[in-house]
A and B are shown apart, each in its own frame.
Chain A
Amino acid sequence: MKMFTKLSLAVAFTAFGTTAVTAADMADEMTIVSWGGAYSTSQQKAYHEPYMEKTGIKIINDESSAEAVAKLRAMDEAGNVTWDLVDVVASDAIRLCDEGLAMEIDHDKVLANAPDGTPASKDFGDLIVSGCFIPQIVYSTTFGYRTDMVGDKKPTDICAIFDTKTWPGKRSLEKRPINNMEWALLCDGVAKEDVYDVLATPEGQEKALAKLGTIKDDVIWWSAGADTPQLLADGEIVMGSTYNGRLFSVIEEQNQPVAMLWDAQVFDLDGWIVPAGLSDERKARVMDYLKFATDTQRLADQAKYISYGPARKSSAPLVGKHADLGIEMAPHMPTDPENAKNTFLYNYEFWADYRDDIDAKFQAWLAR
């Protein structure tokens, strides 16, 4: 059965990915997987283009990060990994590492030191949440609201989400328990430091769902990051959660009457993993790229194109102005002290343990 499985999967995969297979085998090409959209563009400009110019290696973009874990697992079973480097969120990096699908990285050996000589592992600090993960950016999931629809009183507090009396209208929330459950508990009077202890109990989960239940009829649930910006632009919702970079583009690039509500934003990380089982030649090529693309200057460069904070401490002072708009980027970073007065950090361990359980309850609650 095993042999048969491998064979059938391999055939199925080659049917889909013939181009990718030949590409990976060629000497000077590399397939890098990312999210697409403005985020991929920022990587293209800050990392890929200078690197291609420097080395002559051709980088092929694949926009499959949203299904990266499932696809890598399927590739691994088929015994034919066609990707060289994959951009994933930290929780996926941890899962890939858990499943043995990503390679363990010796950060100090592979990555460049900071300009002042600080080793990479210190420069990234505790953002290295998994031995396989090379952090790139810090982003946050936070709220934006329509300035013309909230009346005279601007929302400043996360609990505005649950206050439909003061701010009537629809809200948008992501169609998953992560983040929403934390916000619900926080606004139900649970102290910030107790949130995860409470959420680990069935009673706490019920409590969070009950709080979300008070606005259930006013919520549009989103599953793609582009939904909330669109709903805000259309005036369908008065406030909604999404990634801070998306809101930046609605506000600054599209000039929509939208403002940020940074309160209780949830920090999360995005970065690279190297698939396990690459040939030595491919591995060497990827490591060379990684050393280049994650150095202090390159990470700071990416912030010219998108409002996500660089993961290296040494990059922060180098963040400059937006490449096209010419505005200072620092105040738009989620990590800016003005914005980061009250923040969460995505609790990787908690959600790795409780995601299946709470998600089942959350989805059953949604369907009711």
Chain B
Amino acid sequence: MSDSTNNGPVLAADGTPLKRSLRRSLRLQKFRALLLIAPLLAFILITFIAPIADMLFRSVENKIVEETLPQTIALIDAGGPIETIVPNQKVFSALYVDMFVAAENKEHTRLGTRLNYEQSGISSLFRKSGRRVARLDVEVYKKQFEEVDPQWADVATWQSLAESANSAELLPRAMWAYNAWRDYVRADGDNPDKEAPEDFIYVALYDDLIALDDVTSANDLIRKSADAAPDFETVNFKEAFVKFDKDWASENVWKTLRTYSTPYTEGYFLNAIDFQKDFDGYSLRPDNQRIYGVLFMRTLFMSLVITACAVLLGYPIAWLMANRPMREANLLMIMVLLPFWTSLLVRTSAWKVMLQQQGVINDTLVWLNLVDEAGRLVLINNQFGTIVAMTHILLPFMVLPLYSVMRTIPESYTRAAKSLGATNWTAFWRVYFPQSVPGIGAGSILVFILSIGYYITPEIVGGTTGTFISNRIAYHISSSLNWGLAAALGTILLAVVLLLYWVYDRIVGIDNVKLGG
């Protein structure tokens, strides 16, 4: 054999280079494996990952402001010093057009709810203004345009404007208003080609023409109207809005609008860590509104306590189960699993009956004369109640992994240790315990992560001092409907859990966790 054949690529039986052939068969294998898990993967992606990602995305999403009041936001977003915050006529007339369309589409109240999270009072301000805007008389604009040229009253004029290329550039707001009008007329089931354009469109047209300085590319109609517009009689929108509600004249509403006009906001996350974002920047919330920091710390602390309790209570049981004869072990196993099969609510309510002041434990203590009638112990509606009930509920998640690990530890090891002179304690602590650590690790992770997200049990037995961050998340999802804040809180909770998992991996090593075998 010559050297050249040795240096050339190794060939497979069919003559292709072995490397490529190998790669292809590996790829085929991978593809086949992927196909096998594809249904599960798709299922998890669609029903689990995607909804969670979507929910978490809400923690920064804030498009509603810009989408509901596009013209207004474009004007006030141009920036400027604080003095320009309470805006001029121009902004109010843009606000009128935006608000009119939003009210027709019933979007203004939605925005009001959104902004009310940041400033009390905006909810009713928007609801009220939306109602009044629809009744405000602005016919004067349309009339004057008709006087300039009767064509303006004809919907065909608008159609041809919409079709011409440069009108979006010349008359951006009028075109926007016209299209918005068409959209909601169509949504009502009518044909916009057969309706007369509504008055508010002419307000937008007027604003456009006033702002227009270069009319060279415009047609006669627009040029003629632009010439006439400065002499038009106008409606004082600022006055009208302030008459709807005097809050429109206040700086605060406009500051809030400008602070939250961006399509994405860090505001929810700041709220979730007891900060606030306002016009002047970030600041810590006043003392009497800070709550989430306390709740996060409490959730972590109590989950740790619950995990520790579960280890302390679960370890001896698991050891007994692993070391007693089969029959006894089975009985114990059933006793561990029995509560596991009982409804969560039933178990929690049972603890209520046990722990309350007129409950079983207190009655027994009074009967034994250990406490007197007036000194009945407060065992529920506080942290103690939550810890007791949750330790009980989560105990099986500790016992089962412990048991499955302990079962595999050969008894001969401890016997060998003892035969070499170790005391019972040394044999347990130096020989048996280290081998059971993977079980403790697995059980602790399970219990800790489960308890961090618990909310039903703390809600029922936790009172005011034993509730978790998840109770607030549930509140924001179902009661206050502040889904952005709920998403931010959820994201932080998820991040904390992942961080703790990473720390755990660095310290204990995730390879040391065993669920069995």
Bound together, the chains give a CA A89 to CA B284 distance in angstroms of 35
Contact among B294, B459, B481 with A73 in the assembled complex (CB-CB below 8 Å): B481
Q: Give CA–CA (A361, B288) in the complex, Å.
A: 6
Determine whether the beta carbon of B124 is less than 8 Å from that of A349. Answer: yes
Q: For the complex, would chain A's binding face be called helix, strand, loop or mixed by DSSP majority?
A: helix
Q: In this assembly, does B295 line the interface, its C-beta being within 8 Å of a C-beta of chain A?
A: yes
Distance in Å: Cβ of B16 to nearest Cβ of chain A: 41
Is A100 a contact of B107 with CB atoms below 8 Å? yes
Cα A364 to Cα B464 in complex, Å, equals 10
Docked pose: A354 CA to B117 CA in angstroms:
9
B337 beta carbon closer than 8 Å to chain A: no
Residue-by-residue, is B188-201 near A (CB-CB < 8 Å gives 1, otherwise 0)? 00000000000000
Contact B481 A367 (CB under 8 A): no
A12 engages B113 (CB within 8 Å): no
Whether B110 contacts A98 by the Cβ 8 Å rule is: yes
Partner of B120, one of A7, A98, A353: A353
Are A360 and B356 interface neighbours, CB within 8 A?
no
Whether the pair A70, B116 counts as a contact (CB closer than 8 A) is: no
Q: A98-B109, A352-B124 are in contact. Are A236 and B116 (CB under 8 A)?
A: no
Determine whether the beta carbon of A353 is less than 8 Å from that of B478: no
In the assembled complex, which residues on chain B have CB atoms less than 8 Å from the CB atom of A365? 288
Contact B357 A357 (CB under 8 A): no
Contact between A99 and B113, CB atoms less than 8 A apart = yes
Q: Does A22 contact B (CB under 8 A)?
A: no
- Closest residue on chain B to residue A176 by CB atoms: B479
B150 within 8 A of A: no
A254 within 8 Å of B (CB atoms): no
The interface stretch among B26-34, B43-51, B72-80, B206-214 is B43-51
**What is the bound-complex CA distance between A1 and B123, given in angstroms?**
28
Cβ of A236 and Cβ of B357 under 8 Å apart?
yes
Q: How far is the CA of A156 from the CA of B359 in the complex (A)?
A: 29
| Nearest Cβ on chain B to A21's Cβ, whole angstroms | 16
Q: Which residue of A lies closest to B274 (CB)?
A: A364
Min CB distance, A257 to chain B, in Å? 14
**Interface 0/1 of A338-365, CB less than 8 Å to B:** 0000000000010011111111110111
**Chain A residues whose CB sits within 8 angstroms of the CB of B295 once the complex forms:** 367
A221–B117 touching, CB < 8 Å = no
Is the CB–CB distance between A99 and B50 below 8 Å? no
Q: How far is the CA of A1 from the CA of B50 in the complex (A)?
A: 10
In the complex, the answer to whether A367 meets B358 with C-beta atoms within 8 Å is no
Contacts A8-B51, A367-B295 hold; do A359 and B113 have CB atoms under 8 A apart? no
Determine how close the nearest CB of chain A comes to the CB of B88; give it in whole angstroms.
Answer: 27
CA distance A341 to B275 in the complex (A): 45
Q: Nearest-CB distance from B344 to chain A (Å)?
A: 15
B455-489, CB under 8 A of A: which get 1 and which 0? 00001000111010000100001111110000000
Among B47, B105, B120, point to the contact of A357 (Cβ < 8 A).
Answer: B120
Beta-carbon nearest neighbor of A350 in chain B: B124
B515, CB-defined interface residue at 8 Å: no
Complex formed: what's the CA distance from A175 to B120 in Å? Answer: 21
Whole-angstrom distance from the CB of B284 to the nearest CB of chain A?
13
Count chain B CB atoms within 10 A of each CB in A220, A361, A364 and give the residue with the most.
Answer: A364
B127 at interface by CB-CB < 8 Å: yes
Contacts of A360 in B (CB 8 A): 289, 291
CA distance A12 to B46 in the complex (A): 8
Q: Which residue of A lies closest to B122 (CB)?
A: A353
Q: Identify B288's interface contact among A9, A15, A175, A206, CB under 8 A.
A: A206
Task: Identify the A interface with B (CB < 8 A).
Answer: 1, 4-5, 7-9, 11-12, 15, 66-67, 69-70, 73, 95, 97-100, 170, 175, 206, 220-221, 223, 234-236, 349, 352-361, 363-367
Question: What are 7 A-to-B residue pairs whose CB atoms are below 8 Å?
Answer: A8-B51, A100-B105, A100-B107, A353-B123, A361-B289, A366-B464, A367-B294
Closest 5 pairs (CB-CB, A-B): A98-B109, A8-B50, A100-B106, A364-B291, A357-B120
